[in-house]
Amino acid sequence: MSGNTQEAPRPAIRDRLVPIDRCPVCDCPVILEYLKLGSQPIANRLLKDPDDPAPQYPLGAQVCQSCGLSMLTHMVRTEEVYKDYPFLAGTSDQWVRHCKLLAESLKPPTDGYPVLIDIGANDGTMGRAFQRQNWCVVGVEPNQPVGSEYSFLHRAAYWSKEEGERSKKYVSSRGYHHPDIMVATNVFGHAPDPLDFLRGIKAGLRRSGLAIIECQHVGFMQQHFAFDTVYHEHLWFWWTKPMAEACKRTGLEVVDVEYFPNLHTGSVRYWIRHKGYKQPPYQARKTSRSFMKFVPDRERVAACIANEEAVLGDMKPYREFGAVAVETIEQFRRIFTQDNKTVFAGYGASAKAATMLNAIGATSKEIACVVDDAPSKQGKFIPGCEIPIVAKIPSKTEVLVIFSWNVAAGIIRKALADKYKGMFLIPLPVMKVYNTEEARHLANKSREATDIEERREFLYA
């Protein structure tokens, strides 16, 4: 295995790096580092050739001991992170259904043309779901993925206060009302300046409007010991206390909270409006699977903060999270050191896979290849370890490592359908190896296919 160095970045790399030494929400300098993953390449920057350069940058996580926001130790320049960005949200059936259910739950206003801005539109999956519910959609996305098409209006820009103002003018110039709803899913944690991002919502959103922000929740990340979700795109790891504080500082207010434990290793949805607005926003269409409500519920938000702070306000779970990461990495290294005859392959060429493989220091000597269903990834290589990405599980594979462990049941079902007869290794939350029959039983009893929209009243029940 190749060692994963922690050397100081070269001068050319330093120009692209910004150390994060103060909290972006409360400006506190008291920060505890709890996770160190060495130096790693940009996780989603897949290589076309194994000899292509893959610059490495420091990667670790820390927490503000004032407001509790978790964050990376270093920020890589945005243009560097999102150059040739390959991620397509719509390749996930789970995500398509999630977008559909959200869009169906929101009843458009009847006065004029209802306008929704999809911040970080990616491949347009969310925008199309709202179009089907008769919303006029404007997507804001600086890096439209190759192969995706938009069926709605689109602005190529990074979201900011200035872009919020420009988007409002853009909508008005088209003869529409100011935006009624703004949706930002899996993008807020990527924003270099989260307060500026929220000021953009403040500047562009109609006074009676509603903003919806979905992001990874640090509590779920800790519950799953999901250190492989720490990579250079994910700058901030939110929970309700720092989110409420960030909104307060930008003239906004969190009015409700929803938890989705089965989405992206655990996500949270924040319903946000202009601070001080009294009239309830648009009412939800009632469905049997939804308890979404839009009448402000300050008591519930306060209860969510108290419920989370009882755990996340203590530094102990952060230290435990870092210790489990170290042990998991060492477990992998011991497996590869002690067993150099077994043929390993991986499944899921995600950013999680790149983070895990680089933390281990694995190469194609340890993991022959990584299988992925996305044609856009096949034929490329995992950065930093030069492991090839292929379309099918090689016939000689004896152990299949499921790097996309949050959807392990679906991967197991597909592998078994393709006549794979070897072992399965699921690295997280707890590393475990399954034989074929054990894996089949695990997949059959899994509720992930039916409960993708499970909502939890509180994070810590």
pLDDT digits (tens, 9 = 90+) for 196-234: 999 999 999 998 889 999 999 999 999 999 999 999 999
23/31 Cα distance (integer angstroms): 8
Label residue 418 by pLDDT band (50, 70, 90).
very high
Q: Left, alpha or beta for 265 (phi > 0: left; psi -120 to 50: alpha)? A: left
Residues 135 and 25 in one domain: yes
Strand ranges of the sheet holding 136-140, from the earlier edge strand across to the other edge: 153-155, 136-140, 115-119, 181-185, 210-216, 267-274, 252-260
Residues facing 215 on adjacent strands: 268
Residues 163 and 291 in one domain: yes
Label residue 73 by pLDDT band (50, 70, 90).
very high
- Report percent pLDDT > 70 for the chain: 89
Residues 158 and 223 in one domain: yes
Residues 380 and 441 in one domain: yes
Residues 298 and 381 in one domain: no
Burial 19-41 (b: 16+ CB within 10 A, else e): ebeebbbbeeeebeebbbbbbbb
Give pLDDT, residue 86: 67
331/151 Cα distance (integer angstroms): 47
Residues 346 and 315 in one domain: no
Of 278, 307, 331, the residue at which a domain comes to its end is 331
Give pLDDT, residue 1: 54
Residues 268 and 353 in one domain: no
pLDDT digits (tens, 9 = 90+) for 265-299: 899 999 999 998 876 555 543 332 222 345 667 88
Give pLDDT, residue 162: 96
Nearest to 282 by CA among 386, 209, 367, 216: 209
Tell me what percent of the chain is helix, strand and coil, each rounded to the nearest 5.
Answer: 30, 25, 45
Residues 265 and 337 in one domain: no
**What is the average pLDDT across 341-352?**
94
Give pLDDT, residue 427: 95
DSSP string of 401-428, one letter each residue:
EES-GGGHHHHHHHHHHTT--SEEEE-S
Label residue 444 by pLDDT band (50, 70, 90).
confident
In a domain, 368, yes or no: yes
DSSP string of 249-261, one letter each residue:
HTTEEEEEEEEET
Give pLDDT, residue 245: 98
Using the structure block, give the residue that is written with the tokens 């930008």.
250
* Structural domain containing residue 384: 332-445
Residues whose CB falls within 8 Å of the CB of residue 438, separated by 6 or more in sequence, listed in order: none
Label residue 89 by pLDDT band (50, 70, 90).
confident
In a domain, 229, yes or no: yes
Q: Which secondary-structure segment (H or E) carries 293? A: none
Residues 138 and 185 in one domain: yes
Q: Is the pLDDT of residue 10 over 50?
A: no
pLDDT digits (tens, 9 = 90+) for 29-70: 978 999 999 999 999 999 999 999 899 999 999 999 999 999
Give pLDDT, residue 14: 56
**What is the average pLDDT across 111-121?**
86
Nearest to 241 by CA among 309, 316, 190: 309
Q: Is the pLDDT of residue 131 over 60?
A: yes
Residues 50 and 97 in one domain: yes
pLDDT digits (tens, 9 = 90+) for 364-402: 999 999 999 988 899 999 999 989 999 999 999 999 999
pLDDT digits (tens, 9 = 90+) for 291-327: 234 566 788 999 999 999 999 999 999 999 999 999 9
Please state, as a whole number, how many other Cβ atoms lie within 10 Å of the Cβ of residue 136.
22
Give pLDDT, residue 42: 95
331/315 Cα distance (integer angstroms): 25
400/421 Cα distance (integer angstroms): 10
Give pLDDT, residue 447: 54
137/129 Cα distance (integer angstroms): 10
Give pLDDT, residue 452: 52
Give pLDDT, residue 79: 83
Nearest to 205 by CA among 237, 179, 166: 179
pLDDT digits (tens, 9 = 90+) for 241-263: 999 999 999 999 999 999 998 88
Residues 157 and 226 in one domain: yes
Give pLDDT, residue 460: 79
Give pLDDT, residue 7: 43
In a domain, 453, yes or no: no
Give pLDDT, residue 9: 43
Residues 107 and 159 in one domain: yes
Mean pLDDT of the chain: 88
Query: What CATH number is attached to the domain comprising 416?
Result: 3.40.50.720
Count up the domains in the chain and report the number: 2
Label residue 344 by pLDDT band (50, 70, 90).
very high
Query: What CATH number is attached to the domain comprising 76?
Result: 3.40.50.150
**What is the average pLDDT across 407-435?**
94
